[in-house]
Amino acid sequence: MKIINNPAVKLLFIFLIFYMTDSYAEIRKPAVAGAFYPGNTEELKKMISGHLSGVETMPAIDGQVIALLVPHAGLVYSGQIAAHAYKILENSGIKRVILCGPSHRYRFNGLSVYGPGVQWETPLGMIACNDDLCQHLLNFNKNVNVIPEAHYQEHCLEVQLPYLQTVLTRPEIVPVLIGPQDHGTVKLLSEALQSLPFDSQTVMIASSDWQHYRPASEGWKYDSTGIKCLEDLDPDRLENYLQTGKVEMCGGGVTVAVVKAALAKGANRLKILKYGDSGDVSGDKTAVVGYVAAVLYKADEKENDSRKTDVKKTSNMEKDLEKYELSDTDKKQLLQIARRSIESYLADGTIPEFEVPGNLSLPGAAFVTLEKGETLRGCIGHVMAVEPLYKTVATCAVQAAVSDPRFPPVQAREMKDIHIEISVLTPQQKVASLDEIEVGRDGLVIAMGNNRGLLLPQVATDYGWNKTEFLQHTCRKAGLPIDAYKSPEASIYKFQALVFGE
């Protein structure tokens, strides 16, 4: 293992690099060109351009971009997701990119920075390291070293470079790999990143895929739990979930460290830009890898002031849901999508593609409830508007049929007796006073610590509960004492739902 950790040797290394011309600089050759992305220059340009042009809508980012979260699989699978993050960097003036990812192929302790004095090559050309920032990290802690072997075959940083070379003008990178993603090393990465000088021309990037090789209906439960941690700007909870197995990410520790560093650098907003999985491309939803693109940024004063008066505190995607006006035709189509998705999944493990009108393509949160006779047979939902509404309904319908842990999976022969009900959710609103809650109109979410429970508006009506009973049962759903809603540590949210069924 070639570790440069002697201070005198480090200084000599920098001294020699400083006096070498570019022609003598070390070149990190592409390791996964032709495998994770096209090795041909023109083919790669066409792929990257296609991914970026495929980003149809971009959220308004009113402030300084601090960090991006991107996937790192083969670009044919994850590239369109990653493009939603890189699109934000177009015309941004970003010059320095701190690239952070997990080591997949080489074991080492601490952190490895492959620079200074290194140029990284892709079919699109060379991209240089920022020598000053690389050296800053090497000086920060004795456990930050130059370990070339860790980078030689690693793909998680390399696959980001073609996007950076396309959206930015002559960017410089700081390539950082983490060894073990234990708490101590994650803390080291976060503190090292926080120590770096940072300005509006610098951005951090965390490279990570999410759950691996689970059925899409099962994998979404892991991914959505982690996404909620991100939207709540709660990296500590995310780290806890990673340790307990509630969330799966190959670069989970990297993501935790970058989010913590971004918050320390002033980020106060996070937007999920796109979620998807490998099955969206392959068509095989039986064993997928999850992908997330997100941005952390420091909102300007105008946005901060408006947020202070907005008790709903909705994400950009959730705000889109407020625009929904579902016609009877829309409702009928969503119910058909739910039924066809279940039937197709039970037949061959796939969810079909659907063509829908524009309003059903807006990001939407929804629950799908299955009943057999008068008995509940399954109920699963997504409380965040991450995917288009029709996809949310399709996915939740399948999950309700085969992944609700309270019931055995639905069998194909049962479908003729299954009644489907869909609840399209409005954004959640923080409850300041229990007087704001109206039984029959509002659904409830109660969260305290790592516990969280949700009940739809119709549940209280179906069971004839009063407000206190509704609160108590929501606490019970969260795994909390029935009077936990009275605790100052509990957070209570309400939402409404447009409910319709077959």
Q: What pLDDT does residue 159 have?
A: 97
Question: Can you name the residues that pair with 118 across neighbouring β-strands?
Answer: 26
Q: What pLDDT does residue 5 have?
A: 61
CA dihedral for 383, 389, 391, 395, sign (positive or negative): positive
Q: What pLDDT does residue 184 have?
A: 95
| Cα of 373 vs its chain's centroid, Å | 38
Q: What pLDDT does residue 299 have?
A: 87
Q: What pLDDT does residue 365 have?
A: 85
CA–CA gap between residue 233 and residue 227 (Å, rounded): 10
Q: What pLDDT does residue 324 have?
A: 54
SS3 sequence of 295-353: EEEEECHHHHHHHHCCCCCCCHHHHHHCCCCCCHHHHHHHHHHHHHHHHHHHHHCCCCC
Q: What pLDDT does residue 7 have?
A: 58
CA distances from 205 to 85, 156, 225, 316, 380 (A): 10, 11, 21, 21, 32
Q: What pLDDT does residue 212 have?
A: 94
Q: What pLDDT does residue 4 have?
A: 57
- What is the pLDDT tens value at each position of the chain, 502 positions in all? 455 566 555 555 544 444 443 444 799 999 999 999 999 999 999 999 999 999 977 777 889 999 999 999 999 999 999 999 999 999 899 999 999 999 999 999 999 999 999 999 999 999 999 999 999 999 999 999 999 999 999 999 999 999 999 999 999 999 999 999 999 999 999 999 999 999 999 999 999 999 999 988 788 888 988 998 998 899 999 999 999 999 999 999 999 999 999 999 999 999 999 988 998 898 888 899 999 999 999 987 654 544 443 333 334 434 444 445 688 899 999 999 999 999 999 998 888 889 888 778 888 888 899 999 878 899 888 777 777 899 999 999 998 998 887 888 899 999 999 999 998 888 788 898 999 899 988 989 898 876 778 888 888 888 889 999 999 999 988 889 999 999 988 999 988 888 899 9
Q: What pLDDT does residue 22 have?
A: 44
Q: What pLDDT does residue 178 have?
A: 98
Amino acid at 426: T
Q: What pLDDT does residue 8 have?
A: 57
**3-class SS at 64?**
strand
CA distances from 124 to 39, 46, 96, 101, 120 (A): 9, 11, 18, 21, 11
- Residues 6+ positions from 402 with CB-CB distance below 8 Å: 215, 217, 345, 346, 409, 410
Q: What pLDDT does residue 11 have?
A: 53
Amino acid at 385: A
CA–CA gap between residue 165 and residue 169 (Å, rounded): 7
Question: Can you name the residues that pair with 131 across neighbouring β-strands?
Answer: none
- Residues 6+ positions from 499 with CB-CB distance below 8 Å: 421, 422, 423, 456, 457, 458
Residues in the chain: 502
Q: What pLDDT does residue 85 have?
A: 96
Domains of the chain: 26-308 (3.40.830.10), 328-425 (3.30.700.20), 428-501 (3.30.1490.150)
